Amino acid sequence: MANTDFHLEFQEFEDDQGFIKSNQGSTTVTIDDPIKSRKQRKATGTAPEEEEIDPLDSNDQTELLSGEKKSAPFWTFEFYQTLFDVDSHQVKNRIVGSILPWPGKNFVEVYLRSNPDLYGPFWICATLVFAIAISGNISSFVVNHGQPKYKYVPDFRKVTMAATAIYSYAWLVPLALWGFLSWRNTKITSLVSYSFMQIVCVYGYSLSIYIPAVILWIIPSEGLRWFSIVVALCLSGSVLVMTFWPAIRDDKPRITIAIIATIVILHVLLAVGCKACFFSRPTYEMDPSEDHNEPLRTTSTLSST
């Protein structure tokens, strides 16, 4: 059996110059410490010119390290693209948070933070518009069904009227509120400030509770309709009050009361106005064919007599 024992022996290599002389035909690779070699080149005065640094790269690195990114101007496509950069999970949580408000939780701080969106408010308003128009037509048909002189004619004007009312409320009221709060921030610096998009987002999501309420208005029961209105007003109104209370609580008491009262009154007017305009008992339309046939039936009866 062969002896497999072997000994490890440390050999001393020759110095660099001796090794190079003995291996003149070989290729050598030298690995130097970059910091040390740079210092040596600076000491000997043979340091090359500094490489140019791209200012765009340095700005991007600074923004990434600081955790902030400059927002695009509002006239660019990138600005509005960020407002629709939201996933379905976030939209669902924001809808649930607007339908089931929790005392002491601010909707902006808990659900929006610094990422408001327009995707949810836009489709909530659009769904509410069609829900009001369709439910109003169905309610008119249910109430007047069975009338001898009633002829069902869908009223497409309800879509235009509902869209004007809902989108005006979802945009003009937040615009006025944002302008007033911005003006008060110049007077009192300790007030909490909200951006215009955050206020629009809060108002848009607060209307989501009205979609199931409007569907219930198809049932021809005034008690059920007013009950659903009161429930929707309490839930959505509490979201608005708890959200904007931190922004006005440090202001003068009369101004605070006036702002809260205005927010609640406008919210009540929207709900009651939609109910009165689209779900009041309509006057049914006479069937013109029956009006023309009635004289013929009378004439034929007299002639036979």
Judge contact between 165 and 266, C-beta under 8 A: no
Distance, in Å, from the CA atom of 286 to the CA atom of 289, rounded to the nearest integer, reads 9
Give the tens place of pLDDT for each residue, 196-248: 989 999 999 999 999 999 999 998 888 999 999 999 999 999 999 999 998 88
Query: 155 and 234 in contact (C-beta within 8 Å)?
Result: no
Which residue in 189, 180, 137 sits closest to 158, CA to CA?
Answer: 137
Amino acid present at 49: E
- CB distance 146 to 292 below 8 Å: no
Average pLDDT, the chain: 75
Report the chain (305 residues): mean pLDDT per 10 consecutive residues: 53 55 57 54 52 45 45 63 80 90 84 85 94 90 76 83 93 93 80 86 94 91 91 93 89 91 94 86 48 42 40
Tokens 């090359």 locate to 48
